[in-house]
C-alpha cells in the first residue's frame, strides 16, 4: 500500500476547510491525509510544518487575492492546487501561469478536489471544466497553439460530457481524449513564467508520452502569435 499524499488546506472560512476535510475522509481508498490547516499564509515560513506534498490554496484570503503568492509557495517546494470561488478566466490563467498544478472551482470541489490533489502529487495534469473554460477563453497573444483535435476535446469536456462521451463523439478512445486534454495542460506548463512545478509537470508529461519534446515551443514571439490568431479560429471548424 502506497503512503497517502499529505495535504495542507489554506482557507479563511472554517466551514470550507471542514468540507474539504470531509471529502478527504470519505475517499474510499484513504489516499490523502490532511496534515495541516491555516487561515492565511503568514505561518508558512515560520511554523514547523509537517512534510506536505500538496497545498490546497483558497485564492482569496481575508478579502485579498493571493495569486501572486503562488510562486513563493512553489519555490518553497509545495505543489499548489487552487480552490476558489473566482472562476474568472483571467484569474484561472494567472493561477496556472504562476505555477499552480491545477485549478478547481468551489462548485467542482466535491467531484474533483481529491483527484486533483492526487494528480498534483504525481506531477500529472488535471484539467477541470473551469480550467478548460479559461483555456478556451484565452485571448492572450502569447497563448500556446492548440491543435484542432485538442481544442475540440477541450470544448466537449468544458461543455459537460464525460471523457468517454467525448471519445464517442470524436470517434477516439477515452484514453486518447485524456491524452489530448493533458497535452493542452502540458503546453500551458511550457509557456509564460518559469516555475519548478511547471518543469515537473512538463517532465512528467514527456515521461508519460503525453507530449513530445518537439511539440513544445516555450518561446513564441508576439509577431508570430499575431500571425497565428486567424488560424486559431479556423481550428474550430
Q: Which residues bind another protein (CB under 8 A)?
A: 89, 107, 129, 132-134, 136-137, 139, 155-156, 158-162, 164-165, 168-169, 233-237
Q: Which is nearer to another protein, 73 or 154 (CB)?
A: 154
- Output the CA–CA distances (angstroms, integers) from residue 17 to 8, 10, 45, 146, in the order listed: 10, 8, 21, 36
Please state the closest distance from residue 62 (CB atom) to another protein, in A: 28
Between 100 and 154, name the residue whose CB sits nearer to another protein. Answer: 154
The pairing of strands 64-65 and 60-61 is antiparallel
Least Å distance, CB 87 to another protein, is 8
For CA atoms 188, 236, 141, 161, give the dihedral sign. Answer: negative
Q: Which is nearer to another protein, 15 or 234 (CB)?
A: 234
| Helix, strand and coil percent figures for the chain, each rounded to 5 | 50, 15, 35
Question: What's the burial of 7, exposed, middle or buried (CB within 10 Å: 0-12/13-18/19+)?
Answer: buried
State the minimum distance, in angstroms, from the CB of residue 83 to another protein.
18
Q: How many helices (H) and strands (E) does the chain have?
A: 11, 7
**Nearest to another protein of 122, 168 (CB atom):** 168
Nearest approach in angstroms of CB 237 to another protein is 5
Output 64 or 236, the one with its CB closest to another protein. 236
CA distance 207 to 91: 29
- Strand pairing partners for 185? none
Q: Among residues 35 and 90, whose Cβ is nearest to another protein?
A: 90
Q: Which grid coordinates belong to 199?
A: 518543469
Smallest separation (angstroms) from another protein to the CB of 156: 8
Least distance from another protein to the Cβ atom of residue 233, Å? 4
Amino acid at each position: 500500500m502506497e503512503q497517502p499524499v499529505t495535504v495542507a488546506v489554506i482557507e479563511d472560512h472554517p466551514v470550507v476547510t471542514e468540507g474539504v476535510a470531509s471529502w478527504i475522509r470519505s475517499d474510499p481508498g484513504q489516499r490523502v491525509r490532511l496534515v495541516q490547516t491555516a487561515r492565511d499564509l503568514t505561518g508558512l515560513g515560520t511554523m514547523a510544518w509537517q512534510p506536505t506534498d500538496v497545498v490546497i490554496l483558497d485564492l482569496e484570503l481575508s478579502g485579498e487575492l493571493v495569486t501572486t503568492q503562488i510562486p513563493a509557495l512553489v519555490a518553497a517546494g509545495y505543489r499548489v492546487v487552487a480552490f476558489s470561488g473566482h472562476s474568472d478566466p483571467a484569474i484561472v490563467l494567472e493561477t496556472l501561469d504562476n505555477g499552480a498544478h491545477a485549478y478547481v472551482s468551489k462548485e467542482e470541489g466535491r467531484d474533483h478536489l481529491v483527484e486533483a490533489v492526487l494528480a498534483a502529487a504525481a506531477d500529472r495534469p488535471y484539467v477541470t471544466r473551469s480550467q478548460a473554460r479559461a483555456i478556451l477563453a484565452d485571448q492572450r497573444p502569447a497563448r500556446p497553439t492548440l491543435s484542432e483535435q485538442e481544442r475540440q476535446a477541450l470544448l466537449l469536456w468544458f461543455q459537460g460530457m464525460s471523457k468517454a462521451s467525448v471519445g464517442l463523439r470524436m470517434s477516439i478512445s477515452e484514453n486518447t481524449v485524456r491524452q489530448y486534454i493533458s497535452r493542452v495542460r502540458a503546453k500551458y506548463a511550457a509557456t509564460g513564467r518559469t516555475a519548478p512545478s511547471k518543469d515537473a509537470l512538463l517532465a512528467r508529461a514527456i515521461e508519460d508520452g503525453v507530449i513530445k519534446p518537439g511539440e513544445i515551443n516555450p518561446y513564441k514571439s508576439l509577431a508570430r502569435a499575431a500571425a497565428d490568431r486567424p488560424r486559431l479560429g479556423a481550428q474550430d471548424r
